[in-house]
Amino acid sequence: MIQAVAPKIEKNYLNEKVGLLSWLLTTDHKRIAILYTFSITVFFFIGGFFALMMRLELLSPRNWLVSAETYNKLFTMHGIIMVWFFLIPSIPGTLGNFLIPMMVGAKDVAFPKLNLLSWYIFMLGGGVTVYALFRGGVDTGWTFYTPFSTTYSTTYVVAAAVGIFIAGFSTILTALNFIATIHSMRAPGLTWFKLPIFVWSMYANSVVLILNTPVLAITLVMLAVERIFTVGIFDPALGGDPVLFQHMFWFYSHPAVYTMVLPAMAVISEIVPAFSRKPLFGYKAVAFSSIAIAVVGFLVWGHHMFVAGESVYSALAFSFLSYCVAVPSAIKVFNWTATIHGGSVSWDTPMLYAIGFIGLFTIGGMTGLFLAALGLDVHVHDTYFVIAHFHYIMVGGSVMAFLGGVHYWWPKISGKMYPEGLARLSALIVFIGFNLTFFPQFVLGYLGMPRRYAAYPEEFQMLHVLSTAGATILGVGYVLPLCYLIWAWHYGRDATPNPWRATGLEWKSSSPPPTHNFEVTPIVTAKLPYDYEAMKEELELV
Amino acid sequence: MSDPLVLELREQFATPEQQRHTSSIGIWLFLMTEVMMFGGLFVAYTVYRFNHPQAFAQGSAEMDIVLGSINSAILLTSSLTMGLAEFSAKFGRVRLSGILLFTTILIGLAFLGIKFTEYYEHYQQHEAPGVWFNHVGPHAPEVQMFFVFYFLMTGLHAVHMSIGILLLLGLIARNMVGSFSAAYHTPITVVGLYWHFVDIVWIFLYVIFYLPGLHK
Amino acid sequence: MSGPSRKTYFLTYVGLLGLLLVNTLIAFVNLGWFSTVIAIGLATIMACLVAGILMHGFYEAKIVQIIIAGGVIFFLIMMSLTMNDYFTRGWLPFHTP
């Protein structure tokens, strides 16, 4: 095809239709992914602002910036926005939406209209929650524990619950769409064991979301009914049991933690082989470990209630099961490192984020085992140790992977390259800032600093100041990519269809892809996924 | 290309069979979210019935077993007519299918009518939870808990019934303009699945609310 | 796609009504905790009839059957692990509920 010189501006999904309405009424999964990217970025910076305010307040042992009541609202809104409006929809809504149909070689997801509807529902839920925020916020903590949330809190609990309830439908619809797509829209020849691990992980993630989100919905309904009709569903004076609320909430929320990290693992499993120039080590083990995490993740929720009045026998069972769930996570970590081992590794930005993810996720996961131990949990329960632990998973894990994934697929999404030097620098800043923010919190927690307090004894000040300093650096690390990625969207140099020389169907299409993803429906003939050996031979031939 | 099957094929699918299979997976996944949502309420009910067995038996004894049993039979009948509506559509008898869908709506409305009669009786006997509740005797707060779950679960069920009736009305409208045929009647099957599922929920609601009070 | 015949529909309907009647009548007899087991058991059979025949569960593709089984299994996980806590509360003498 040498004579067919490509015209300067090809038709692709970005320029085929123009105007605001073409975006708001689109059913193209790639454009919906961009809509999600835009909205979760806004929510991320709202949630980040609350975090910054909290860190500033904690510079001093006494309340110097905000009152204790305002501080309660700050950490609640930080949690609600970050969990339900950033972490859970982040990678599925953006990269998942963009990539799953491309990776399976389909024109679109199974139900494109439902996909768009899901974004509108998400925005409606976000809108209601932001309304609750502007009317004065919520102060229950993101976990809405009863009886405080049902009886004593005077803030906008029901409004926030309605916002989360609505957003839950969006999550369910997206998950349903992905499962149906992966089952029935795969290209000819693309069998299950030729699918990229990204698809496997997102599949496991969607299964979890289908099964746990409805339980959150009904739990929030019960909470709202109790609060509105004062009937005491969880009130011990009226025959209720507050621990039941915790059971139902964590039946949702513990698997929800895995729905934040499974997509992150999905991204890492793509980046690591591409930049090590090696097939993923132990493909089937990694694929099935995603399913194992999804299933076993449902059996461990009781470890949040060791000191809440749960029976000791039940606590024993949950403790044991919590240790079990570490096994599939460890399988993944070992397989990623085995993939890197002996590979010809190139240190591009996505790989830097991936390496950071593996290290930080390991620390986060290992400290999780501390918390699953019955005796030790009594000591560190509800302290900064817990805060540090889950931020290592959610920020050190999910956010790092999200940034890594955005850099990795940015050429495909936008058709432009990002500035590599600046990107490497900001990956470094994020890594340093993150560790400086959250490592002191492990120490703080172990020394006994409880979570959710605006004031604290003076001997903790040193560590809190360190943490706040780290948060500032982390903030810079997040603003930088925002700036240079927007810059690159307009001024970056054009990307080739496959700038990383990676496998996977998404790289077979042009950058950015045409509206229907592929000029012709791809037929998969490769024997293996991640066949970097074959690709090496191919390149040598050229 | 007058084949209605081809006309209804969405652009993201390659074959009608793929489209049917995908929509089947989609609706069943949706129904599983419903299982988990009602499931949460069933778990909460079980916990409290385990904690307060006498109070729950006491509450259940206040149920109207005659109306409840009639209502169960009515709902099963509506499932039959719904099933037959799908069956007729499958063989292209869309006019009969429309009549059966309409019958299903009427039976569904009868169910809701009886349900609200029951609600009204409970309200008059001060058994509706909250400020309306006024129960004399032991375990009053726990008996109220029984009624909280009774109203919450049957209420949520009634909401699902109402949505089902609206969906059926939509089907009848589409049927009148001739959208369905032996080759294409997926929406009837999908709404049918939803309707039968709501029926299954009721089977369990009947068992946990009406029956425990019978043997004291 | 195969599916139930018209006769199967009517037989299922008659079966469901029969099971409903049996379930209601048995409930008048006090069998202790076994009453609940029978009631839930018969209701489960009825649910299987509806899901299997009226909803074509028995005739569907394997993947759909796996989805149904998955939903039911995860509901049972939620139920059993929660009840595990409530069953074993107060087994230790120093535990105050």
Give the CA distances from residue A309 to residues A210, A215, A230, A246, A437, in Å, rounded to whole numbers and listed in that order.
29, 22, 24, 11, 33
Q: Comparing C-alpha atoms, which of A333, A316, A441 is closest to residue A397? A: A333
Those chains having 3 or more beta-carbon pairs within 8 angstroms of chain A are: B, C
Inter-chain residue contact A241 with B47, CB threshold 8 Å: yes
Task: Please tell me which residue of chain C has the smallest CA distance to A242.
Answer: C97
Inter-chain residue contact C84 with A244, CB threshold 8 Å: no
User: Could you tell me the pLDDT band of residue A105, with boundaries at 50, 70 and 90?
Assistant: very high
Question: Measured between CA atoms, how close is B125 to chain C, in angstroms?
Answer: 24
List the single best residue of A28, A226, A228, A229 to mutate versus B (max B Cβ within 10 A). A229
Q: Comparing C-alpha atoms, which of A295, A297, A269, A268 is closest to residue A283? A: A269
pLDDT at C4 over 90: no
Q: Which residues of B touch A247 (CB under 8 A)?
A: 43
Contact B162, B175 (CB under 8 A): no
At residue B18, the pLDDT reads 85
Inter-chain residue contact B28 with C64, CB threshold 8 Å: yes
Is residue B144 within 8 angstroms of chain A, CB to CB? yes
Q: Which residues of B touch C15 (CB under 8 A)?
A: none
User: Could you tell me the pLDDT band of residue A369, with boundaries at 50, 70 and 90?
Assistant: very high
- Domain chopping of chain B, boundaries: 21-209
Q: Which residues of B touch A219 (CB under 8 A)?
A: 40
Residue range C75-96: mean pLDDT, rounded? 86
A383 φ, ψ to 5°? -115, 180
Residue range A226-249: mean pLDDT, rounded? 92
Q: Is A64 helix (H, G, I), strand (E, B) or coil?
A: coil
Is residue A243 within 8 angstroms of chain C, CB to CB? yes
The b/e string for A108-134 (b: 16+ C-beta within 10 A; e otherwise) is bbbbbebbbbbbebbbbbbebbbebbe
Residue range A315-323: mean pLDDT, rounded? 95
The b/e string for B112-121 (b: 16+ C-beta within 10 A; e otherwise) is eebbeebbee
Non-local (6+) Cβ contacts of B85 within 8 A are B97, B98, B100, B101, B104, B188, B192
Inter-chain residue contact B29 with A239, CB threshold 8 Å: no
Task: Please tell me which residue of chain A has the smallest CA distance to B139.
Answer: A239
User: Could you tell me the pLDDT band of residue B9, with boundaries at 50, 70 and 90?
Assistant: confident
At residue C94, the pLDDT reads 60
Longest CA–CA separation in chain C, Å = 62
Q: Which residues of B touch A248 (CB under 8 A)?
A: 40, 43-44
Inter-chain residue contact A225 with B141, CB threshold 8 Å: no
| Domain boundaries A28-541, CATH class | mainly alpha
Across the interface, of B30, B37, B148, the residue whose CB is closest to A217 is B37
At residue C90, the pLDDT reads 79
Spacing of C-alpha C23 from chain mean position:
13
At residue A541, the pLDDT reads 66
Q: Range with the lowest mean pLDDT among A10-19, B71-80, C54-63?
A: A10-19
Is residue A316 within 8 angstroms of chain C, CB to CB? no
At residue C21, the pLDDT reads 96
Q: Which residues of B touch C30 (CB under 8 A)?
A: 215-216
How does pLDDT run across A143-169, given as a tens digit for each residue? 999 889 988 888 899 999 999 999 999
Instruction: Report the percent of chain B where pLDDT is more than 70.
Output: 96
Question: Measured between CA atoms, how close is C97 to chain B, in angstroms?
Answer: 11
* DSSP annotation of A416: B
At residue A2, the pLDDT reads 43
Question: Measured between CA atoms, how close is C96 to chain B, in angstroms?
Answer: 14
Q: Range with the lowest mean pLDDT among A296-300, B163-167, B212-216, C19-23?
A: B212-216
Instruction: Report the percent of chain A where pLDDT is more than 90.
Output: 86
Inter-chain residue contact C30 with B193, CB threshold 8 Å: no
Is residue C92 within 8 angstroms of chain B, CB to CB? no
Contact A121, A167 (CB under 8 A): yes
**Higher-pLDDT residue of B6, B132:** B132
Task: Please tell me which residue of chain B has the smallest CA distance to C87.
Answer: B50
Q: Which of residues 42-101 of B touch C (CB under 8 A)?
A: 42-43, 46-47, 50-51, 65, 69, 72-73, 76-77, 79-80, 82-84, 87, 90
Non-local (6+) Cβ contacts of C90 within 8 A are A311, C97
| β-strand partners of A494 | A416
Q: Which residues of C touch B40 (CB under 8 A)?
A: 78
At residue B139, the pLDDT reads 86
How does pLDDT run across A424-483, given as a tens digit for each residue? 999 999 999 999 999 999 999 999 999 999 999 999 999 999 999 999 999 999 999 999
User: Could you tell me the pLDDT band of residue A3, with boundaries at 50, 70 and 90?
Assistant: very low
List the single best residue of C6, C11, C21, C24 to mutate versus B (max B Cβ within 10 A). C24
pTM, rounded to two decimals: 0.94
List the single best residue of A172, A182, A211, A318 to mutate versus C (max C Cβ within 10 A). A211
At residue C11, the pLDDT reads 96
Amino acid identity of residue A137, one-letter, is G
Give the dihedral of Cα atoms A16, A17, A20, A26; nearest 10 deg.
-90
Q: Which residues of B touch A107 (CB under 8 A)?
A: 11-12
* DSSP annotation of A383: B
How does pLDDT run across A39-74, given as a tens digit for each residue? 999 999 999 999 999 999 999 999 999 999 999 999
At residue A526, the pLDDT reads 80
Inter-chain residue contact C71 with A211, CB threshold 8 Å: yes
Tell me the pLDDT of chain C averaged across its residues. Answer: 91
Contact A408, A267 (CB under 8 A): yes
At residue B134, the pLDDT reads 86
Domain B21-209, CATH: 1.20.120.80
Question: Measured between CA atoms, how close is C58 to chain A, in angstroms?
Answer: 20
Q: Is A337 helix (H, G, I), strand (E, B) or coil?
A: helix
Residue range A24-39: mean pLDDT, rounded? 95
Is residue C62 within 8 angstroms of chain A, CB to CB? no
Task: Please tell me which residue of chain B has the smallest CA distance to A221.
Answer: B152
At residue A497, the pLDDT reads 92
Q: Which of residues 151-180 of B touch C (CB under 8 A)?
A: none
- From CA A257, how far away is CA A331, in angstroms rounded? 18
How does pLDDT run across B53-97, given as a tens digit for each residue? 999 999 999 999 999 999 999 999 999 999 999 999 999 999 999
How does pLDDT run across A337-355, given as a tens digit for each residue? 999 999 999 999 999 999 9
Amino acid identity of residue C60, one-letter, is E
pLDDT at A7 over 50: no
The full 3-state SS of A3-26, as one line of letters, equals: CCCCCCCCCCCCCCCCCHHHHHCC
Is residue A309 within 8 angstroms of chain C, CB to CB? yes
How does pLDDT run across A455-466, given as a tens digit for each residue? 999 999 999 999
- How many residues are present in chain A? 542
Computed from CA positions of residues A268, A274, A280, A283, in that sequence, does the dihedral angle turn out positive or negative?
positive
pLDDT at B216 over 70: no
At residue C37, the pLDDT reads 94
At residue B56, the pLDDT reads 94
pLDDT at C92 over 80: no
Tell me the pLDDT of chain A averaged across its residues. Answer: 93
Is residue B40 within 8 angstroms of chain A, CB to CB? yes
Those chains having 3 or more beta-carbon pairs within 8 angstroms of chain B are: A, C
At residue C97, the pLDDT reads 47
Is residue A517 within 8 angstroms of chain B, CB to CB? no
At residue A89, the pLDDT reads 95
